[in-house]
Amino acid sequence: MNSVSTPTPALVAFLVCDSVIQDGPSGKKTLVGVFSNILVENFPAAHASPWLFVKLIDCEGSYDVKFEFVRVSGQEILLEANGNLNATDRHSNTEFALQLPQLPIPAAGQYEFRLWMNEKFISNVRIDVDVQESR
C-alpha cells in the first residue's frame, strides 16, 4: 500500500466502451462504442475485451489501482485487473484507459466494474446483461 498522504482522487468520468483511440500529437482520446448493456445469445457467455476509461481530479502521487468485474447478485468477483498510476498535479485532470481481457458472463443480470485506488473504493459503473431476443 502506498503512503497515506496521497489524496483520495475524485471521479470525473468512468465509462465502458468497445475501444479507446489516442491521438499521438495531441493526446486526445476518442471513446468508441460507449455502452451500459450487453446482449448475448445464451449463457454462460463471454464479452469481447472492453476498455475502461477513467478521468480523475485531485490525484497526486503513486497509486495502486484495482478494477473488479463483479456479478452484483452474490457479489462474485469474476475478473480483477491491477496496475499502478503516478500523477504529478492534483489540480489537473488525470486520465487513463485500460483494455480488459474477455469478460466471463455466467448469467443474465447486473454486473459492475469497481475502481479501487490505494485500497480505497472510488466508484463503480453498472452493466445490465440480458438475452438477445431472436428476430
Residue 3: pLDDT above 50? no
pLDDT band at 135 (very low <50, low <70, confident <90, very high): low
Q: What is the pTM of this model?
A: 0.89
pLDDT band at 4 (very low <50, low <70, confident <90, very high): low
Averaged over 3-30, what is the pLDDT? 90
Question: Would strands 10-22 and 29-34 be described as parallel, antiparallel, or unpaired?
Answer: antiparallel
CA 123 to chain centre: 9
Q: Check if the beta carbon of residue 71 is closer than 8 Å to that of residue 103.
A: no
Closest CA to 65 of 1, 132, 135, 130: 1
CA 102 to chain centre: 13
Task: Give the count of alpha carbons within 13 A of 3, CB side only.
Answer: 7
Closest CA to 17 of 37, 30, 34, 29: 34
Question: 2 is written with which cell numbers?
Answer: 502506498
Write out pLDDT tens, residues 38-57: 999 999 999 999 999 999 99
Averaged over 82-106, what is the pLDDT? 93
